[in-house]
Structure 1
Amino acid sequence: MSAEIVQLVEQAGPYLSAAVGAYGAAVFSRAEDAVVDAAADATASLGQRILRAVWHRRDDQDRTALETAVREAAEEPDDEDAVGALRQQIKRALREDAELVREVAGLLPAQGGVTVNVSGTRAIGAQHIGLAVSGDNATIHPPQQ
């Protein structure tokens, strides 16, 4: 198996997990233009787009296997075997379709970049930070010399 496919599946993993966790087996039928739940849904939405891209390129038998893997991963999110079966379905599809590899790679954020999703009142997002305070009446004391 090519290292590129392994790397794509590794990079897509958190998005796939978010989509399966958020939508379960409905990931294929949920409307893409549905109202999204701020930043948290952005991750699940990307996972949904990846799963749909794979699903649309599969034949009926492979679609059924993919749907089963998604359903089982949604029902047992802590079961490594169920999650692994879904990853295996994605890998198989990528190995068989070079155009799908390019499509999925185009959906994923560029490697080496930073993506920070922040939502909620007084939420803080930063790549490099020494000290961050969020809340009312916070008191910061400098270190004793």
Structure 2
Amino acid sequence: MQLIEQAGPYLTTAVGAYGAAVFTRAESAAVDASANLGQRILQAVWRRRGEQGRAELEAAVQDAAEAPEDPDAAAAVRQQVKRALREDVELRTELARMLPAAGETVNVTASGERSIAAKTITTAVTGDNTTIQP
């Protein structure tokens, strides 16, 4: 239950940002980190469900995307995720690793021209005329 409470805001943000395409669209740098995390959670749940479970999750997400202000639609998405977590211990472990630790606070400050800040940075390029080679 705690995982669902923690994941809820991320799921809502992902559905709001990606809509029903949350299962098929690649993460976007233009979308905030909360939406991208919510998308990864929904995709993880979707991948581990059977055909019927996928269809039910897709329907719940579609309803939530069409009615973003409807708390019942958002609750239906959470209920689908909750059901999947109840049935799959490995999925619970995967989701727990994705979510920030309870009470975890990250403060990041960047200042100055071309400064960047993030909890985790994989690649960052801030210079002019930079070439990245594989």
Fold match by TM threshold 0.5: yes
Q: Secondary structure at the match of 2:32?
A: helix
Equivalent residue letter for 2:25: R
Percent same amino acid at aligned positions?
62
If asked which structure has higher relative contact order (CA below 8 Å, sep 6+), I would say 1
Residue in 2 aligned with 1:95? 86
Q: Structure 1 residues 74, 100: closer, same or farther in 2, change over 3 A?
A: same
5+ long unaligned stretches in structure 2 = 110-134
From 1, 5, 12, the counterpart of 1:10: 5
TM-score by length of 2: 0.77
5+ long unaligned stretches in structure 1 = 1-5, 119-145
Residue in 1 aligned with 2:125? none
Aligned pairs, how many? 109
Task: Write the deviation string for residues 37-93 of structure 1: whole angstroms up to 9, x where unpaired.
Answer: 2xx521100000000000000001110000000010111111111111111100000
Query: Cα RMSD (Å) of the superposition?
Result: 1.6
Residue in 2 aligned with 1:53? 44
Equivalent residue letter for 1:99: E
4+ long deviations beyond 3 Å? 115-118
Alignment partners' CA distance in 2, 1:75 and 1:30:
17
From 84, 99, 114, the counterpart of 2:75: 84
Alignment partners' CA distance in 2, 1:10 and 1:92:
14
TM-score by length of 1: 0.71
From 86, 103, 119, the counterpart of 1:112: 103
